[in-house]
Amino acid sequence: MISLSLAIRLKQAGLTWQPELHDFFAIPQPDLEDRLFVLSDMTIDIEPIFGWQAITFNGAVEWSLDYIMTADVVWVPTESQLREMLQEILLAEEQPAVQLMSSISGYHCQITFDGNIHDFEAATASDAYGMALLFLIQGGERWSGVSGIQA
């Protein structure tokens, strides 16, 4: 799982979220930002409220929060979701490449982009993938047609 700070940076850079069952998200508010939530078919659903997508909390009697708008939460993509987005973006390259390597100090995600090799180092594999994705998203409108990325 990527760090909340990296998830926030990805959202600010234009990564959009189409909520799906079993996706993780965080609520960046005091006393909630250390908690991770998951969309499940039991207690948390996506419903339209006033014409906007909202996350509703059903059956959680101890909660005073009935719903929160998806725009007010931060998607926390999994390692596999991050890897899939990277691979989708790099398919347009002549020599697409995504490699993950581990070392004593952590993980290195290496991508080939525009004929150049770029390395991203982090403590976790998810954060290494997330940093590579952030680098690509910050490339601007070039990726606006890729699923989940908005320029």
Question: pLDDT of 78-107, one tens digit each?
Answer: 999 999 999 888 887 766 689 999 989 899
Q: With 80 as the cut, is the pLDDT of residue 63 above it?
A: no
Q: Which residues contact 81 (CB under 8 A, 6 or more apart)?
A: none
Give the residue, 68 or 84, on which the prediction is more confident: 84
Smallest Cα–Cα separation from 121: which of 139, 96, 130? Answer: 130
Of 19-23, 60-64, 134-138, least confident by mean pLDDT is: 60-64
| pLDDT at 38 (0 to 100) | 86
Q: With 80 as the cut, is the pLDDT of residue 16 above it?
A: yes
Going by the DSSP 8-state scheme, the letter that residue 23 receives in this structure is: -
Give the residue, 125 or 29, on which the prediction is more confident: 125
- Which DSSP string corresponds to 29-66? STTTTT--EE--SSSEEEEEETTEEEEEE-S-TT-S--
Q: pLDDT, tens digit, for every residue of 2-12? A: 999 999 999 99
| pLDDT at 151 (0 to 100) | 44
Confidence of residue 76 (pLDDT cuts 50, 70, 90): very high
127 near 137, Cβ under 8 Å?
A: no
- Distance (Å, rounded) from C-alpha 89 to C-alpha 92? 6
Confidence of residue 62 (pLDDT cuts 50, 70, 90): low
Instruction: Provide the residue ranges of all domains of the chain, joining segments of one domain with +.
Output: 4-75, 79-143
- Distance (Å, rounded) from C-alpha 112 to C-alpha 70? 33
| pLDDT at 44 (0 to 100) | 73
79-143, CATH topology level: Double Stranded RNA Binding Domain (3.30.160)
| pLDDT at 64 (0 to 100) | 56
Residue 86 dihedral angles phi and psi, to the nearest 5°? -60, -45
Structure tokens at 71: 């725009």
